[in-house]
Structure 1
């Protein structure tokens, strides 16, 4: 996303609409700013954001059509830091006292009011709906003050003109009143236009959120149905293959006249069919597992990660001994997390570390961790065969594998790990090179955070 600050604000739990920094479009070259709203699932966990861009040229064109007085200044100002998003006219420069005066005025009256942008100007502001943006309009008082001083001097020199001077002052007061009324009217119009845009944006967010949830549920249902329907013909194939194996003796009797070449071809074909059935069965089971996992509700609980890691290491101890490998586990921070999910993550990573050690080379596998600012960083490192940098993204894709295919596997484990880590509110990354081993780094919340609960 081009506006990382807006994304970070939404991710960290910002409520309502979020305003991004003014940007220049890469294609149009026109200035715009981001308006975004945070998306969360039923439990409030951050799932992403829906955004729209507001073309700043639209406001400039709209203001120009309003036929404002020559000395009028109109601007959209971001609340808080007082950043000017767009201004008409662009020159002269904004007075140094304008934004501090606006900030002080909005602190007392957050919705609307007056402020003094400069000693010789009068300003009005209005907050635009729920957006953290103010629409400001200011006018010069120089002409009014000049007329007032001229008539006052005439009044002092010629007492007979006192009544005329009074009428002029009244006319100036009426003009000032009309200016204020016109400014308030334009502020109201602009506020109504932005309120309409805000309502439309909220409708689009709601529609897209509903579409996303429906699509996700449909994908899970489709995966389950397809996997279930694929198993029926597969069971039939398995049955007929077993029947052919049982009838082998009848088809090829041990008589000298039997063709040995035909018997060998038959056995080879049956073996190929059986291995293909086994592989298809594993893939179907994997799809079913992923479909069920996608609808599973996590249950956070206190987890002793040191004990969990020792249990995982004990499970692969025999294989590690056969490979002449040593596994070390350092100090572990405790987590409040779904025990089943986190155990699946690290069981897969430790199992892979042992599986892909270099043959004939005593291997070393280490599991270490540290915690800081509410996040725990776990590292599973080995000195095995390593992974080519070009395959670092590929290994996390479903049914994708890297390097020599001399170990059993279907390319499901790391894809499942990445999905679980993301659902737990964390991230996973890989550092590896051929012949130098691999290090998988998993970052998880120490406990469920507001806006990032376990799903």
Structure 2
């Protein structure tokens, strides 16, 4: 039923004012917004300005343009063809019914008008018109939703195609990387054999014919031994870097304090640490690959000691803490530091921020560290200032977060 609190527009069309007044009197209590037109032409003018009519009640016999002609012009317009029309006529309905329906009428009321019949029919057609509008609105919404769904499906298919292409490209690059790492490992391994031979032969010369070695020859042999040693270290570091690409991670509960103590003992065998103040703060335990993290600590701690040894009072600090579900570890020194303008090179392979004459090294250690930390789903970063030391940080996921 039509809601009493709603207003629905009804267009009344008749060339006689008394007939319009009669219609208005019958319908005035039905809560309609009644608009009156004295001719078919005036009715068309109203309709072209305002499409929001629920019903048209129109007299058939009007001068100039009758009701049938007016209806035909109304329904020529796509936006008006859904407005129902009730014809009022004193003519022979049976004789004109075909002509009226062809013009677009939905019903007839004969004159003289029966008030209750008019009210009932107007109410029924207004309600029908409103339901039809609701259906049209729902259809538009459904069409819009369908277009959106089609667009989303198309976008999803495009995204899936892009993801598939990216995955294929990633797989190819990974295969190439693994192939390159295998190649590096093979080449590095094969290079160690002749280097070991050179070292052995040079040492043999020194021991077998010491009387034939003057100072100049001895200096040349020492240069050879030094170059071989640097090459050997470079190959060892390159082998270590290559192994990290294919080595499986075996995570266990690790006491970081015990691991760092072990690292300090190992580092002390290869470089002087007696003149360096080493402070070890709290180190929370971690769930990680023990041997891989040992490499991380060896690289970071030995670097901190190496780059701070030229400082009058060298100091290295090691520690860690829990923060926002992560474990954050650090190694700090008060040594040479580096220029942060070159930070983008810091963790790249074969990149060094100090010359060989200042500090020896191969430029691979930090690249190895970065690869190990990233394989543990962590991250590594550094802060430094020239002449004021460096601070290196890396994160590992806390065990409780890994098991969620």
5 Å matches for 1:187-266?
A: 187-229=145-187
Q: Given the alignment of the two structures, is residue 413 of structure 1 paired with residue 320 of structure 2, yes or no?
A: no
Q: 1:301 to 1:149 in 2, by over 3 A?
A: farther
1:381 corresponding residue in structure 2: 332
Offset at residue 362 of structure 1 (A): 2.8
1:399 corresponding residue in structure 2: 350
1:313 corresponding residue in structure 2: 264
1:348 corresponding residue in structure 2: 299
Q: Which has the higher helix share?
A: 2
Question: Which of 124, 127, 136 matches 1:169?
Answer: 127
Larger of the two Rg values belongs to structure = 2
> What is the aligned-residue RMSD (CA, Å)?
4.1
Q: Given the alignment of the two structures, is residue 447 of structure 1 paired with residue 368 of structure 2, yes or no?
A: no
Offset at residue 271 of structure 1 (A): 6.1
Q: Given the alignment of the two structures, is residue 425 of structure 1 paired with residue 374 of structure 2, yes or no?
A: no
d(CA) in 2 for partners of 1:235 and 1:320?
A: 26
d(CA) in 2 for partners of 1:244 and 1:312?
A: 32
d(CA) in 2 for partners of 1:245 and 1:351?
A: 28
d(CA) in 2 for partners of 1:296 and 1:202?
A: 32
d(CA) in 2 for partners of 1:341 and 1:231?
A: 20
Given that residues 237 and 365 in structure 2 are in contact (C-alpha distance below 8 angstroms), is that contact kept between their aligned partners in structure 1? no
- TM-score with structure 1 length normalisation? 0.55
Offset at residue 330 of structure 1 (A): 1.2
Given that residues 301 and 338 in structure 1 are in contact (C-alpha distance below 8 angstroms), is that contact kept between their aligned partners in structure 2? yes
2:282 corresponding residue in structure 1: 331
Q: 1:304 to 1:247 in 2, by over 3 A?
A: closer
Offset at residue 191 of structure 1 (A): 0.4
d(CA) in 2 for partners of 1:289 and 1:373?
A: 32
Given that residues 313 and 327 in structure 1 are in contact (C-alpha distance below 8 angstroms), is that contact kept between their aligned partners in structure 2? no
Given that residues 227 and 284 in structure 1 are in contact (C-alpha distance below 8 angstroms), is that contact kept between their aligned partners in structure 2? no
Q: Given the alignment of the two structures, is residue 184 of structure 1 paired with residue 136 of structure 2, yes or no?
A: no
Given that residues 377 and 441 in structure 1 are in contact (C-alpha distance below 8 angstroms), is that contact kept between their aligned partners in structure 2? yes
1:435 corresponding residue in structure 2: 387
d(CA) in 2 for partners of 1:323 and 1:334?
A: 27
Q: 1:447 to 1:149 in 2, by over 3 A?
A: farther
Offset at residue 395 of structure 1 (A): 2.4
1:131 corresponding residue in structure 2: none
Given that residues 326 and 398 in structure 2 are in contact (C-alpha distance below 8 angstroms), is that contact kept between their aligned partners in structure 1? yes
Q: Which has the higher strand share?
A: 1
- TM-score with structure 2 length normalisation? 0.62
Q: Matched residue of 1:345: which SS?
A: helix
Offset at residue 302 of structure 1 (A): 0.9
Given that residues 298 and 338 in structure 1 are in contact (C-alpha distance below 8 angstroms), is that contact kept between their aligned partners in structure 2? yes
Q: 1:160 to 1:233 in 2, by over 3 A?
A: closer
d(CA) in 2 for partners of 1:245 and 1:291?
A: 30
Offset at residue 329 of structure 1 (A): 0.9
Q: 1:187 to 1:158 in 2, by over 3 A?
A: same
d(CA) in 1 for partners of 2:142 and 2:262?
A: 70
Offset at residue 281 of structure 1 (A): 4.2
Aligned residues: 302
Q: 1:213 to 1:359 in 2, by over 3 A?
A: same
Offset at residue 233 of structure 1 (A): 7.2
d(CA) in 1 for partners of 2:370 and 2:228?
A: 28
Given that residues 325 and 362 in structure 1 are in contact (C-alpha distance below 8 angstroms), is that contact kept between their aligned partners in structure 2? yes
Mean Cα displacement is larger for which, 426-435 or 225-234?
A: 225-234
